[in-house]
Structure 1
């Protein structure tokens, strides 16, 4: 009888020990899950805050687009930084920041035919090189690092493959490249534009950024001409 009671006591102690350990493990796991849940909640809050911030920036950009278009009849559809277009770069395409633009005549009665679509390439980034480099480096850090020699070779290729031969040290060299984009336009619209614009606006050419105001004014003057 005593032997049975002793075994029952041992089993009871063993069960209490096992259940105690299980309860302790469950408590630890529950604490870990609560901490993970708190981190996820914080990450979600931060993600929502970042999304709201980006949406605000996007809205401000849209408002800026509208104001500029109302004041100047110039619409900037898209701004592409160099590292965003590096993989799809064409050998004949100018380097630098690309701005995709539409410009029309500045009056209350806008003729849809009097719209010229073009891209401006800021070949020397007009002073934004440091910021662009920072964003480029951040973008590279999020991807797989490439071989140093290969990276240096690409840098050399990007430096040498400039079909316009723009020299950064030459103050008189063009640092903004104009490229017409009329591929999507109907041929009748292009014929109409040819009656308004000099031939130079149908070819790629370079200008200096401090002459952009003259460029816009000149283009505006021709677009506002009346064609019978």
Structure 2
């Protein structure tokens, strides 16, 4: 189903894409995914893909209608889970079995306008278009994902630079510690002297500034 959604939403091909061409693209995309995940995805021929799509499309159209009806009945205090439970009751109202495709619906199909559970009127669609809130294209989604990936890479690089600076500072401190001990010993020797020459006085003053930061 995700192959059908991807192929049908391709902003370059979809404008003049005929049914046969669409299914050829669906078949190609599906088998590319299957080749990359042979243990998780079963092989399917064109008829098998069409049959699965027909079943999912029929069941999910009915589920969408049930969800819209449940949303219309939503009362104050009802949670999203309450609404979903109501939708399941509506779906089974004519003696049907439970809705079995909830995972593929939530993860793939619900993101496609064809199976939106929100009943958007044509007037609202026109209003959205006038306000520039039209449908996000495949290229927009790809650009947004690229931007997010670049942002994550920048954050990782900044973090790596921060760690490098911290390590450098630590190494500097390690190198400075022996020198500080040496300065302290020199200062103690000068303090132990009863009489200091002018040179000793200057050294004492300099060492005091180094050791005590004064």
What is the TM-score normalised by the length of structure 2?
A: 0.25
The structure that is strand-richer by fraction is: 1
What is the TM-score normalised by the length of structure 1?
A: 0.24
Q: Greater CA radius of gyration, 1 or 2?
A: 2
The structure that is helix-richer by fraction is: 2
